Amino acid sequence: PVVEQAPRPKLPPSVKGELEVMSFNLENWFNGDGKDGGFPTSRGAITKEALLRQRTKLVASIAANAPDIAALIEVENDGDQGKTALQELVNALNSQTQLGYAWVVSPGALAKATDAKLGDDEIRVAMIYRKSKVRTKGDSATILSAPFDRLNRPPLAQTFERLVKGKGSGQVFTLVVNHWKSKGGCDPSNTANVDRGDSQACWNASRVQAARAMMDWLETDPTKSQDLDYLVLGDFNAYSQEDPLRLMEEAGFMHLAEGTSKAPS
């Protein structure tokens, strides 16, 4: 028998707004060598068949939401061009839908690096967007120095302009996607990051460092947008009342799920 333990609506609820933005953890989307080989992958599919099943589910999930921009987490860190995991996902989306997605080119690719990897981790964050709804403004940006050189994955920032009937509206904002250190894999020898029994689990200090460093980085206007409208998404591995997100609220960021904000001190 099939037990439907936690039924969910087939489609997300409709919300007001001019653009729809989605944050989505792909749960280790790896495509081997991109040429039907290279399995098992280090963190993703163990066979080509498993890859196709995963791809089908990811495409269906994204297509059902049809976001104008999607912030993606846990994408194989194998570059932007060629037979990469990111390109395969976008190709599959566009071949099965009429949504017309493109991906944000990473800072490494803009610098004409050969692999355009975003940091040294096996997984990275990424963004895709509908070309009919928004266009990129300027180059993307990232930060690779501590605390994003290990544990926390490098963030990715990109400024977008909303399109109206194919033309620029002048309405711009910058999207920042993050993936901070998880609560798992506690290291008893790392005294700063041990589980202190405060319900924030281990590696909380690392996530706090990531929050502070990200906010300091945004103060420098990394995408040169000259606009203060930031939407910060991703996998923070922290709940709203934990230290990293409380710090962001205290700095003036609004928690969209709660609809509240605190003025900067």
Q: What residues pair up with 188 in beta bridges, in sequence order?
A: none
Distance CA 230, CA 45 (A): 34
Q: Report whether pLDDT(209) > 90.
A: yes
Mean pLDDT of 108-133: 84
State the virtual CA torsion across 148, 228, 103, 153 in degrees, nearest 10. 10
* Residue 110 binned pLDDT confidence (cut-offs 50, 70, 90): low
State the virtual CA torsion across 92, 40, 104, 134 in degrees, nearest 10. 30
Report how many helices (DSSP H) and strands (DSSP E) the chain contains, helices first.
Answer: 5, 8
Q: Report whether pLDDT(228) > 80.
A: yes
Reported as a single tens digit per residue, the pLDDT across 192-206 is 999 999 999 999 999
Distance CA 133, CA 98 (A): 13
* Residue 264 binned pLDDT confidence (cut-offs 50, 70, 90): very low
* Residue 263 binned pLDDT confidence (cut-offs 50, 70, 90): very low
Q: Report whether pLDDT(257) > 80.
A: no
Reported as a single tens digit per residue, the pLDDT across 8-61 is 777 777 778 899 999 999 999 999 999 999 999 999 999 999 999 999 999 999
Instruction: Considering only residues 240 and 113, tell me which one the structure prediction assigns the higher pLDDT.
Output: 240
* 3-class SS of residue 103: strand
Distance CA 140, CA 153 (A): 16
* Residue 80 binned pLDDT confidence (cut-offs 50, 70, 90): confident
Distance CA 129, CA 229 (A): 18
pLDDT score recorded for residue 111: 57
Q: What residues pair up with 102 in beta bridges, in sequence order?
A: 129
Distance CA 163, CA 133 (A): 5
Phi/psi for 91 (5° steps) reads -60, -40
| Cβ burial 194-221 (10 Å sphere, 16+ → b, else e) | beeeeebbbbbbbbbbbbebbbebbeee
pLDDT score recorded for residue 40: 97
Q: Are 222 and 61 in contact (CB under 8 A)?
A: no
